[in-house]
Chains A and B, each alone.
Chain A
Amino acid sequence: MWATNLKILGVVLGTLALYTLIANKIPQVQSEVPRALTLGADVTPEQLAQAGEQVFTGIGGCTTCHGLGTRAPNLLTDEKGQGPIGARCGKREPGKDCKAYLHEALTQPGAFVVPGYEPIMPDMTRTLSPQQIWAVIAYLESQGGTITVSASDVPASTTSTTSTTSGGGIAGGSSDPMAIVHAAGCVGCHKIGTEGAAVGPDLTHVGARLAAAGIREAILLPDAKVTKGFEKFAGIMPKTFGDQLSANQLEALVRFLAARK
């Protein structure tokens, strides 16, 4: 029986060793805790690009859509023979060099949408600090191109993981609902009248299906209830409007939308 016991032990240990070995032979990727970004005044382009890579693959959440599937253009690889993003970014929009184009793409994503894709890119100023945005631009430029971002582009402020807006709210504190709609980038995803895209639910007659409380909830907690038919876009709408809008602006926007019946 000892021989049988040893054989059983051999089978068990051999099987465990095989699985452990295979799991150790494949590429090892550890999920790191996102760190705050600290950029000094003497930061080099290479350091910026390095920091940008961390943001790109980490807190920025860029890989959620870029490079993994067909939701958005692949940025790190060739696309349609034009090379990675650093090689093609200067040719995207007439009159805009690479740096200006990438800055616009990150801060005003609705301004230019690459043909063939839906306008689902969120305004990254809501989740990233200006330093982080410039770091990402440097990283993207480094992908097949030359880094033109320098320390002088990066604002003086140093450490941050998320951006903040002025205390008066967005759109300079205006309580004009359409000014808020434009400044907050709502039309990047929602249609209101003749304006906007069809990524999120059409808000033209939103007051007919949602009461003021429901609209307020949808702005502050966008994932609390996902409109039927838009489940695949759940999680895309920023959850930061509660911090960005002043109380006056929020109520003005809610009243404006609730009246659209």
Chain B
Amino acid sequence: MIDAVHLLQAATDSLPAYRDFPVIGSRAAVWIAAEIHLMFAAFVLGVPMFAVVAEAIGIFGKDQRYDRLAKEFTRLLLIAYSATAIWGAVLTFLLATLYPKFFAYLTAIFGVSMWIYVSIFFFESFTLYLYYYGWDRWKYGRAKVGHWALGILLNVWGTLVMFIADSWLTYMMTPPRDVTPDTAPGSIKLWHAILNHTWMPINIHRLIGNVVFGGAIVGAYASYRFLASKTDEERAHYDWMGYVGNFIAISALIVLPFAGYWLGREIYQYDQSMGITMMGGFMSWLWVIQAFLIAVLFLTGNYYLWVGMGRIPGAERFRPYTKWLLAVLVLGAIVWGTPHTMIADSRELAAMGGSHHPFLGALGVMSAKNTAVNLMILTTFLSFLLYRRANIRPVVPWARTGTLIQGGMFGVAAAIVLFFGIRGYFVEAIVRIGYSVYQVGAVLACIIFVTVIDVLMARGAQSLGAIQWGKMPPRSQYALFILAVTFTWLMGLMGFARSGIRQHWHVWQVLQDTTKYAATPALGQAAIMISVCVLIFLSLVGFIFWLGGLAEKSTFVAAGKETEHVGH
């Protein structure tokens, strides 16, 4: 046994620490493989979540359109699944051959979890095959509920797989504090390494992010099929599918920043210098780009809803409000994009008159930014509410009171957001951070209570006419493409932020990167890499969807043929 250990040790000692990859270098090779694997993984983990929800609506709401929508989602999933596995294998082989010592270090700690990962992946694959190929066989009664349970099981496997993989990357960011460069990796307990500071925040952030991403890609798929449609029925179906995809993406996006705050807070608590590098160090400009992308998402998502109101009878009542909603969104985006704690040299600081701009600096602090983003979320929710209300007239006797209460809730939520935003300027940072919880709480409470009132108020509502699905101008469909590209790019950018704050460390302050690629690139170079990854991913997705179209005809059902669809 001891001889075997010595042999293993000798083999490890003779292993080169690094090898290089031709032309693009080892870092770029691993970057591309990891990023594209992650994009496919996000898609195949996000889509089952809302496929299973759509199937449930189909079963319990007795609306076959949702069941067929769920099946179409799953068909996309099936082909994307093998692409995820292929890119995962590419990433593993690149890591093992280009970074052999680092890979050996990780396997010494996480080896057992890697075996479990592979086993669960195996179960997940076969559950997916059963789920898709059993769709028409287990279509009615108890068998259908059993089929739905398979969908739930698929999500359980997917979530477990993601949680395991997250433990590896979060360990690299925030290894337990008692792990030092001298700690033998084999002596680190697996569960101790998994339960690191950022594991659960990343898990939750990714879980929500996958839903956003999956919704956006499904929206882009539907918009492509809409533009390629030859019949009104087909157009109507894909218009509806695009709406559902966009609704899922934007709804989940609204919750995503809260998970992001939690992750950021954990990073600061783990190591202030890491947090400051992320928010106020060399990555500070990244957040300005992020603000721009989020502004594009909010504006495009709202634009799609506003254009969509053109196909809803009765929506013209709300058209005058659009310009005010747009004004709030634009102002919010400007405030959110205002730079504050930027890394600057002494000449730049002197030219600015201090470390912050004398006037704009006041808008760049978190108090102003939190206020802006919360008001943007409220505005987007109001857009959606108007869209929901467009073709109905409530008939319940308390409709007017209900609307007034809803208006009051919006007013109170906005006032709370503004109050804590302004008060944040006059208190210490640690108190100010706590205020974001009150702001978020007010917005979420408003969203929940206003929705409940709206659902109750819509009972038995008078219809002003069914939504004319399919009667959307093509520009609305290009908006869905912009959303999909922006979500994908944003995912690449945030991945760079998360990974880049480790700087020249494979494992933060434990295992140093000593390759010639150890320096963390500037945002410009990172942006080129992200764009390349997005382009490869979208090209492959386009090819996969085209293949899917070849293999099977669309399963659409014409709107209005089953039940008249008044609501959404």
- Tell me if chain B binds chain A: yes
Does the CB pair B276–A68 fall under 8 Å? yes
CB distance from A232 to the nearest CB of B (A): 5
| Closest chain A residue, CB of each to CB of B345 | A76
Cβ-based interface call for B273 (8 A) = yes
Indicate whether A69 reaches chain B with its CB closer than 8 angstroms: yes
Question: What DSSP secondary structure best describes chain B's contact surface?
Answer: helix
For the residues of A in contact with B, the DSSP-based class is loop
A69 and B343 in contact, given A15-B485, A31-B503 (Cβ under 8 angstroms): no
Which residues 1-36 of A sit at the B interface, judged by CB distance below 8 A? Answer: 1, 4, 7-8, 11-13, 15-17, 19-20, 22-24, 26-34
CB of A120 to closest CB in B, whole Å: 11
Q: How far is the CA of A35 from the CA of B342 in the complex (A)?
A: 24
Interface size classification for chain A: 35 or more
Q: Is there contact, CB below 8 Å, between B285 and A19?
A: no
List the B side residues contacting A1 at CB < 8 Å.
228
Of the listed stretches A59-67, A97-105, A152-160, A182-190, name the one at the interface; the rest are far from the partner chain: A59-67
**In contact, B350 and A77 (Cβ under 8 angstroms):** yes
Which residues of A have CB within 8 Å of B520? 30-31
**Do residues A29 and B269 form an inter-chain contact, with CB atoms below 8 A?**
no
B354 contacts A by Cβ under 8 Å: yes
User: In the complex, which residues of chain B have a beta carbon less than 8 angstroms from the beta carbon of A74?
Assistant: 354-355
Alpha-carbon separation in the docked complex, A185 to B285 (Å): 37
Interface residues on B, range: 35 or more
Given A23-B289, A69-B280, check contact A12 B346 (CB 8 Å): no
Contact B280–A234 (Cβ < 8 Å): no
Q: Which of B227, B289, B343 contacts A63 (CB 8 A)?
A: B343
Contact with A along B157-200 (1 / 0, CB 8 A): 00000000000000000000110000000000000000000000
CB of B482 within 8 Å of the partner chain: yes
Closest B residue to A8 by CB, please name it: B481
Q: Which of B350, B353, B519 contacts A31 (CB 8 A)?
A: B519
Whether B346 contacts A143 by the Cβ 8 Å rule is yes
Q: CB within 8 Å of A: which of B185-227?
A: 224, 227
A93 close to chain B: CB less than 8 A: no
B355 to A67, Cβ gap below 8 A? yes
Interface residues of A in 72-118 (CB under 8 A from B): 74, 76-78, 84
Chain B residues with CB below 8 A from A30, complex form = 282, 519-522, 525
Interface flag for B84 (CB, 8 Å) = no
B292 close to A (CB within 8 Å): yes
Q: Which residue of B lies closest to A242 (CB)?
A: B180
Within 8 A of A (CB), among B277-303: 277, 280-282, 285, 288-289, 292-293
Which residues of chain B come closer than 8 Å to A76, judged between CB atoms? 346, 349-350, 355
Q: Does B271 contact A (CB under 8 A)?
A: yes
- Considering only residues 333-370 of chain B, those with a C-beta below 8 Å from chain A are 341-344, 346, 349-350, 353-355
Say if the beta carbon of A168 comes within 8 Å of chain B: no
Interface check A206, CB cutoff 8 A: no
Whether the pair B272, A236 counts as a contact (CB closer than 8 A) is yes
Partner of A221 from the list B178, B273, B521 (CB cut-off 8 Å) is B178
A235 proximal to B (CB < 8 A) = yes
B272 touches A16 (CB 8 A): no
A13 to B534, CA, bound (A): 10
A224: Cβ under 8 A from any B Cβ = yes
Given the interface pairs A16-B531, A84-B346, the reply to whether A33 lies near B518 with Cβ below 8 Å is yes
Interface string of A199-236 (1 = CB under 8 A from B): 00000000000000000000001011010000110111
Name the residue on B nearest A28 (C-beta). B522
Interface string of B509-538 (1 = CB under 8 A from A): 000010000111111111110110011001
Once the chains are docked, how many angstroms separate the CA of A232 from the CA of B518?
Answer: 30
Q: Is B504 an interface residue (CB 8 A)?
A: yes
A-B CB proximity, top 3 nearest: A23-B527, A28-B522, A24-B524
- Between A and B, 25 residue pairs with Cβ closer than 8 Å are A8-B227, A12-B538, A15-B486, A16-B531, A20-B530, A23-B289, A26-B285, A28-B524, A29-B282, A30-B525, A31-B520, A33-B504, A63-B343, A68-B276, A68-B280, A68-B341, A69-B341, A70-B429, A76-B349, A77-B346, A77-B349, A78-B350, A221-B178, A224-B177, A234-B269
